[in-house]
Amino acid sequence: MQNSTIHPNAKIGANVEIGPYCYIAENVEIGDGCVIAPHVTIMDYVKIGKNCKIFPGAVIGGIPQDLKFAGEVSWVEIGDNTVIRECATINRGTAASGKYLTKIGSNCLIMSYAHVAHDCRIGDHVIQVSYTGLAGESEVDDWAIIGGASVAHQFTKIGAHAMIQGGSKVTKDIPPFVTVGREPITYAGINSIGLRRRGYTNEQINNVQDIYRLIYNSGFNISDAIAKIESEFQATAERDEILLFVRNSARGIIK
């Protein structure tokens, strides 16, 4: 903690390491076992879970880059065992969104120079590769991987286990279990390798693949594809997750 500025009211857990030249504001909570590298800035209204690692130059809790922000109290929350690499930036939430919260889950990896804007929600086990940017109120579900230098439009949603090619422009919602890429961004198949690594069986993977064939390769429109999936596929957790995501997609899913 030598040469760092730490407000006396900040709540620092047990066995926390704080390197030199850090700034930690008053309304900050840091969980047990965290490692805060030199030159990290943690501004007001940030809660960090246990055993997180934050690397030099990261700025957490900056006010939203949103002209509607009026100085209200809003938060950043980060779960346990999450790693935030060099110069990543994570902004607080806003009142205008009704959320007042930017939330990152547990066991995530936010790589160098990545940006998480106001009111984003990131699930668990997410990897956000270097130079990626999530615009305000974007949502990323568990186990998704966002390739380097990709950018996501405001309000977009990225489904669980999705894998996005580096350099992608995400302007529509990306449903769960898929891989996407090309320019403009399109469906490229399912993330079968990732699913196998996470314990999905061949039967589950084949079932997901058959569902997406109906959505993307059958010539049906989305409404007809959904109706056919409901009538022809047995209810499973994967089927229901896909249907729920597609139905609730305000921006529409990728082509």
**pLDDT of amino acid 112:** 98
How far apart are the C-alpha atoms of 100 and 98, rounded to whole Å? 6
Residue 219: its pLDDT value, please? 86
Q: What does the pLDDT look like over 55-90, one tens digit per residue?
A: 999 999 999 999 999 999 999 999 999 999 999 999
Q: Cα(58)–Cα(109) distance, rounded to whole angstroms?
A: 13
Q: Give backbone dihedrals phi and psi of 114, rounded to 5 degrees, phi first.
A: -75, 155
Catalytic site residues?
118-119, 136
Per-residue pLDDT tens over the stretch 206-231: 999 999 999 999 888 999 999 999 99
Sheet holding 121-122, edge to edge: 11-12, 28-30, 46-48, 75-78, 101-104, 121-122, 139-140, 157-158
pLDDT recorded at residue 2:
76
d(CA 79, CA 66): 24
- How many Å apart are CA 39 and CA 22, to the nearest integer? 5
**Tens of pLDDT, residue by residue, the chain (255 residues):** 779 999 999 999 999 999 999 999 999 999 999 999 999 999 999 999 999 999 999 999 999 999 999 999 999 999 999 999 999 999 999 999 999 999 999 999 999 999 999 999 999 999 999 999 999 999 999 999 999 999 999 999 999 999 999 999 999 999 999 999 999 999 999 999 999 999 999 999 999 999 999 999 988 899 999 999 999 999 999 999 999 999 999 999 999
Nearest Cα residue to 247 out of 188, 186, 175: 175
In this structure, the number of other CB atoms found within 10 A of the CB of residue 68 comes to 11
Q: What is the dihedral of CA 75, 81, 84, 90, to 10 degrees?
A: -10
Backbone torsion region of residue 116, taken as left when φ is above 0, otherwise alpha when ψ lies between -120 and 50, otherwise beta: beta
